[in-house]
Amino acid sequence: MSIEQKVKNTLKKIKLNKKEKIIVALSGGKDSTTTAYLLKKLGYNIEGFHINLRIGKYSEDCLEAVKKLCEDLNIKLHLYDMKQEMGSGMCYLRTSIQSSSGRGKLKNCAICGVIKKWILNREVRKLKADKIATGHNLDDEAQTFLMNIFKGSPKLSANSGPITLNIPDKKFVPRIKPLFYIAENDIREYSKKKKLPVVYDSCPCALDSYRIQVRKFLNTLSKKDKERIVNNFEKWIVRLDKKDDQMIYCQLCGEPSRNKICKRCELMKIT
């Protein structure tokens, strides 16, 4: 089945409505670029949102790619510059967090991921969007699921899926993953075939050795095996007891959180 047909089926499965306002989180990489391209091609109402992390030349290239994509697709682009909005780029912020006592072992991507998620939800909510679309693919999902199992916390994957399964909350913008069932290699091939403006270099800060190890292991498996992992994971999450699930608001920033203090504020308050 073609990528386009698989994405169509996924969007049908999650009942995405063409009238909804969808903000695509654009990084400049192949996955989010392909997500925006396909959503637009299939007639959805999308706009782009890009966080300029200020990671030197890499971020400059990503910004250029994202601007070009939005011009080509004729969609609005919202920009968030970390230096302007938060006073420093991701590298400086992350190093300050890692040099605080007891936090040296926190991985670059773990810190960056928490901060980006926080920015995304807050800013997209201000734009009154119905959904956030991200470029997560089959390989990402299989990696995350396995990592959570290996860490002994499979429940951390409980709200994941092609659409977030959180309890609805007025401050939380639901997230969708149109490429949830598409393998990374197929996306790379497709984005090249369509000549999409993509930065194919890896982020210079991607040093999460554990995820890299899990990725290497998964790459020894076939695409069918990765699909089986993700499909079994989906069957498994519907059986989870979610009665403990609740969304509260962070006492420091007011954003939705599972704990009294959200993960981002936990990181920021020790810098």
Q: Stretches 8-16, 105-113, 135-143, 180-188: which one binds ligand SF4 (CB under 6 A)?
A: 105-113
Query: Which residue from 184, 176, 109 is spatially nearest to 147, judged by alpha carbons?
Result: 109
Residues 134, 174 contacting (CB under 8 angstroms): no
Number of residues that bind ligand SF4 (CB under 6 A): 8
Considering CB distances under 5 to 8 angstroms, the limit depending on partner class, which of ligand SF4, Zn ion, none binds residue 199? none
- Joined together, the tokens standing for residue 174 give 């639901």
Considering CB distances under 5 to 8 angstroms, the limit depending on partner class, which of ligand SF4, Zn ion, none binds residue 262? Zn ion
Query: DSSP state, 198?
Result: -
The answer to whether 114 contacts ligand SF4 (rule: CB under 6 A) is no
Q: What's the CA gap between 38 and 89, in Å, rounded?
A: 31
In terms of DSSP bridges, do strands 256-257 and 248-249 run parallel, antiparallel, or are they unpaired?
Answer: antiparallel
Question: DSSP strand E in 73-165: where?
Answer: 77-81, 131-133
Residues in CB range of 210: below 8 A, 6 or more apart = 107, 147
Q: What's the CA gap between 244 and 235, in Å, rounded?
A: 20
Task: Name residues contacting Zn ion, limited to 222-251 (CB under 5 A).
Answer: 250
The answer to whether 16 contacts ligand SF4 (rule: CB under 6 A) is no
The answer to whether 10 contacts ligand SF4 (rule: CB under 6 A) is no
Considering CB distances under 5 to 8 angstroms, the limit depending on partner class, which of ligand SF4, Zn ion, none binds residue 252? Zn ion
**Angle between the 30-41 and 184-193 helix axes, to the nearest 10 degrees?**
70
Query: Which residue from 234, 230, 117 is spatially nearest to 182, judged by alpha carbons?
Result: 230
Q: Stretches 6-14, 109-117, 148-156, 221-229: which one binds ligand SF4 (CB under 6 A)?
A: 109-117
Among 151, 185, 201, 206, binds ligand SF4 (CB under 6 A): 206
Considering CB distances under 5 to 8 angstroms, the limit depending on partner class, which of ligand SF4, Zn ion, none binds residue 108? ligand SF4
Considering CB distances under 5 to 8 angstroms, the limit depending on partner class, which of ligand SF4, Zn ion, none binds residue 203? ligand SF4
161: number of Cβ within 10 Å: 20
In the complex, the smallest distance separating the C-beta of residue 212 from ligand SF4, rounded to whole angstroms, is 11
Among 22, 73, 112, 179, binds ligand SF4 (CB under 6 A): 112
Residue where the block lists tokens 């695509």: 24
Query: Which residue from 78, 15, 2, 14 is spatially nearest to 46, judged by alpha carbons?
Result: 78
Q: What's the CA gap between 251 and 179, in Å, rounded?
A: 34
Our CB check for Zn ion shows the closer of 86 and 253 to be 253
Among 197, 252, 258, 271, binds Zn ion (CB under 5 A): 252
Q: Stretches 23-31, 186-194, 206-214, 262-270: which one binds Zn ion (CB under 5 A)?
A: 262-270
Site pattern 43..62 for ligand SF4 (x: CB under 6 A): ----------x---------
The answer to whether 109 contacts ligand SF4 (rule: CB under 6 A) is yes
Q: What's the CA gap between 211 and 146, in Å, rounded?
A: 10
Residues of this chain that bind Zn ion (CB under 5 A): 250, 252-253, 262, 265
Which parts of this chain interact with ligand SF4 (CB under 6 A)?
53, 108-109, 112-113, 203, 205-206
